[in-house]
Structure 1
Amino acid sequence: MKKLRFMLLVGFLALVLVGCSNTSASTNEMETYTIIAAHSTAETTSFNEIFQYFKTEIEAKSEGRIKVEIYPSAQLGADRELIEGVQLGDVTMSLHSTAPAVNFVDDVAVFDIPFLFPDKETARATMHVDSPFFEQLAQSQEEKGFKLLGLHDQGFRQLTTNGVKVESPSDLKGVRLRTMENPYHMETWRTLGANPTPLPFNEVYTALQQGTVDGQENPFELIISQRFYEQQDYLTETNHILQAIQIIMNQQFFDTLPEDLQILVEEVMAEAVVVGNEFIDDKEAEYKEIMTNADVEFVEITPDQLATFQESVSNVLDQISQEVDEELLNTLLESVQQ
């Protein structure tokens, strides 16, 4: 009888342990993760398209294990504040221009080389997630606490001005030009003869309206979404710098995800970048039409005029080459040439 009781007790304990084990496994399988995804632009931009695509696909493909909350229009801060938030872990993921990111990762400055990319196709091939350049840049980001998930672009930055038609660097003399808070952008325009005036993005429209600055430079999408064109007479298609956009996640958060979810996050974001790039391409003609209808005069510069701009800012490449990793820069330049 004692032996029977002992065997029954052992059996009962075994069932309890199995039950606990199953419960634990079930709990782990259903563990959920919330991604706070923030950007500083309007909901009509490619930034929001990328995050919306990512949210829809990742929530469906993860079967609810990942939830995404999107905060557009600088609700959680401007670009620099968002980058800080990602580094600290207060914001899980951010999508922003690389220009303010140089304050956190020196190597990101390679995107500030004037006239680096001849066209968007070359840029996108160079920045693709499977490229050697992307892999090296991702390593630089990881050392600072960022997981680089993708590189999008908003097209090239263009110059807009009020009262001054710019066809050559000499036309920029004394022009008060709003720039980003980036030393290489400021040096580019200072070298070209303008008076660079760094201002936060959300202050640009008022500065143009009040005449605090005479012009600004941004890609078509932002000129339209922020309605800068309403306060400008001319747009010179300089294509001076590609508006490279990086998508970063807090590295520590990424490392806590199970391996299958890490792979899923990377795959879905790669798809989302393609969606964002296509959105930009599809909208460009519409953006130009809006500005033309608003009586903005488009100024096309000749190849000889463009060469004058390019020659004038060759010193900026020299400055950047002293601050970034030499191997990374060489990989980038070789990729562009190929």
Structure 2
Amino acid sequence: MTMNLTRRGVLATLGVALAAPAFVRRARAAEVTLRLHHFMPAMTSTQTKVFEPWAQELSDASDGRIAVQIFPSMQLGGKPPQLVDQVKGGTCDIAWTLTVYTPDRYLVAETLSLPFMATTAAKTTVAMRTLMEEFGQADYKGVRPLAFHTHAAGKFHMTKAAVTTAADMKGLRLRSPNKTTGEFLAALGAEPVFFPVTEMVVGLSNGVIDGCCLPYEAVPALKLQELTHEHSAAAAGARGLYTNTFALVMNERSHDRMPEELRAIFDATTGAVLSDRMGQNFDASEEVGRQAVITAGSPIHEIDAAEIARWREAAAPVHEAWAAKLTAAGLDGAAIMARANALLDA
């Protein structure tokens, strides 16, 4: 009996030993290894719900010949505003980046970051990728765009007092999500402060800022349910406060040197397919973040539609100035703004 057990143990060990080289061979069989760099923590839903499954799907579809290595939290060095240039220079093959980290550099892509240019993440993402197809082909010259998307409409997350009217903002230091939303907040009496979202936690912790504007999706990753205690969102049916626009871009050489059959597999997973997937993920993750706020026992306040309408009037000069900026850059500012609004209202 002891001999049989030992024999079985040896066979089991041998089986593992024989299986191991096969696994190693498959792991080493990757002909294309792509390094994806981004600025958010590894636990953000875009990594766990989009990038990691996407990497696995590419591996499966190519029988292990395509591998994607993900580097969150700027692990390859540099600062978030440098991500597109890192792709161009070959520091990484793919990068996920925010347009607002390089204001006025990607003008068409940044248009939907204006105040009140947001509905759901899925719908606003469709508006963005359509706008980029029609007007923004030159925006990301020098890299290959793989996806464009937005997050869901932003909300107020405050350390002390809630914000539901313009009067509530007077004198408050608010982390603004982008330059144009900061201009709008200043028009309502707030003091906007801008720094990358990854540095915002320190600002909330030490009282440098009174609150921030972010979607619920960011709450768990940044632990906003512990740092902020009053939350406000636009009434259902009203345009949201703002969104931010994202791009997933790739080094053109990294793309073009893939074998043709692998490039076909890769390309089939990008473009509209990946854009829509990323937008839909943000909508699904909104509820996760909202529940984190509720579980923490913090109230969620509604900014009524009439107040939002007054705020939109206050934001009109920001929109007009942006249209003029687009026109000054040789683009049709009026047409871009009109098309963006039509897509959001469709």
TM range (shorter): 0.7 to 0.9
Q: Is the 1:98–1:108 contact (alpha carbons within 8 Å) kept by the matching residues of 2?
A: yes
Q: How does 1:203-242 map to 2 (within 5 A)?
A: 203-238=199-234, 239-242=240-243
Cα distance between partner residues in 1 of 2:198 and 2:280: 26
Q: What CA deviation, in whole Å up to 9, does each residue of 1:242-296 have, x standing for no partner?
A: 2332211123433333454444323213544444444333333332222122232
TM-score (norm 1): 0.81
- Counterpart of 1:167 in structure 2 is 164
Per the TM alignment, residue 227 of structure 1 is displaced from its structure 2 partner at its CA by: 0.8
| RMSD of aligned residue pairs (Cα, Å) | 2.5
- Counterpart of 1:153 in structure 2 is 150
Is there any run of 5+ residues in structure 1 with no aligned partner, and where? 1-29
Q: Is the 1:36–1:92 contact (alpha carbons within 8 Å) kept by the matching residues of 2?
A: yes
Cα distance between partner residues in 2 of 1:116 and 1:176: 23
Q: What CA deviation, in whole Å up to 9, does each residue of 1:153-195 have, x standing for no partner?
A: 3311111112222111221111101124x43232122122110
- Counterpart of 1:41 in structure 2 is 40
Rate the CA distance shift 1:141–1:328 in 2: closer, same or farther, 3 A.
Answer: same
Matched, 1:332 2:340: yes
Q: Is the 1:102–1:108 contact (alpha carbons within 8 Å) kept by the matching residues of 2?
A: no
Rate the CA distance shift 1:304–1:333 in 2: closer, same or farther, 3 A.
Answer: closer
Larger displacement relative to structure 2 (270-279 or 150-159): 270-279
TM-score (norm 2): 0.79
Q: How does 1:30-179 map to 2 (within 5 A)?
A: 32-48=31-47, 49-76=49-76, 77-128=78-129, 131=130, 133-136=131-134, 139-143=137-141, 145-179=142-176
Rate the CA distance shift 1:286–1:336 in 2: closer, same or farther, 3 A.
Answer: closer
Per the TM alignment, residue 80 of structure 1 is displaced from its structure 2 partner at its CA by: 1.1
Q: Is the 1:46–1:277 contact (alpha carbons within 8 Å) kept by the matching residues of 2?
A: no
> Which letter does structure 1 place at the counterpart of 2:265?
L
Cα distance between partner residues in 2 of 1:108 and 1:272: 17
Cα distance between partner residues in 2 of 1:256 and 1:139: 22
- Counterpart of 2:22 in structure 1 is none
Cα distance between partner residues in 1 of 2:108 and 2:312: 22
Q: How does 1:172-211 map to 2 (within 5 A)?
A: 172-180=169-177, 182-211=178-207
- Counterpart of 1:15 in structure 2 is none
Cα distance between partner residues in 1 of 2:261 and 2:133: 20
Larger displacement relative to structure 2 (229-238 or 274-283): 274-283
Larger displacement relative to structure 2 (186-195 or 94-103): 94-103
Q: Is the 1:192–1:313 contact (alpha carbons within 8 Å) kept by the matching residues of 2?
A: no
Cα distance between partner residues in 1 of 2:287 and 2:72: 25
Rate the CA distance shift 1:210–1:43 in 2: closer, same or farther, 3 A.
Answer: same
Cα distance between partner residues in 2 of 1:46 and 1:236: 22
Rate the CA distance shift 1:329–1:63 in 2: closer, same or farther, 3 A.
Answer: farther
- Counterpart of 1:284 in structure 2 is 286
Cα distance between partner residues in 2 of 1:141 and 1:60: 33
Cα distance between partner residues in 2 of 1:226 and 1:53: 22
Per the TM alignment, residue 334 of structure 1 is displaced from its structure 2 partner at its CA by: 3.4
Rate the CA distance shift 1:255–1:141 in 2: closer, same or farther, 3 A.
Answer: farther
Q: Is the 2:120–2:283 contact (alpha carbons within 8 Å) kept by the matching residues of 1?
A: no
How many residue pairs get matched? 304
SS of the equivalent of 1:96 reads: strand
Q: What CA deviation, in whole Å up to 9, does each residue of 1:189-210 have, x standing for no partner?
A: 2122110111232221121111
Per the TM alignment, residue 317 of structure 1 is displaced from its structure 2 partner at its CA by: 0.8
Rate the CA distance shift 1:252–1:139 in 2: closer, same or farther, 3 A.
Answer: farther
Correspondent of 1:300 among 295, 298, 302: 302
Cα distance between partner residues in 2 of 1:146 and 1:228: 34
Q: Is the 1:159–1:236 contact (alpha carbons within 8 Å) kept by the matching residues of 2?
A: yes
Matched, 1:317 2:325: no
- Counterpart of 2:18 in structure 1 is none
Structure of greater Rg? 1
Identity %: 22
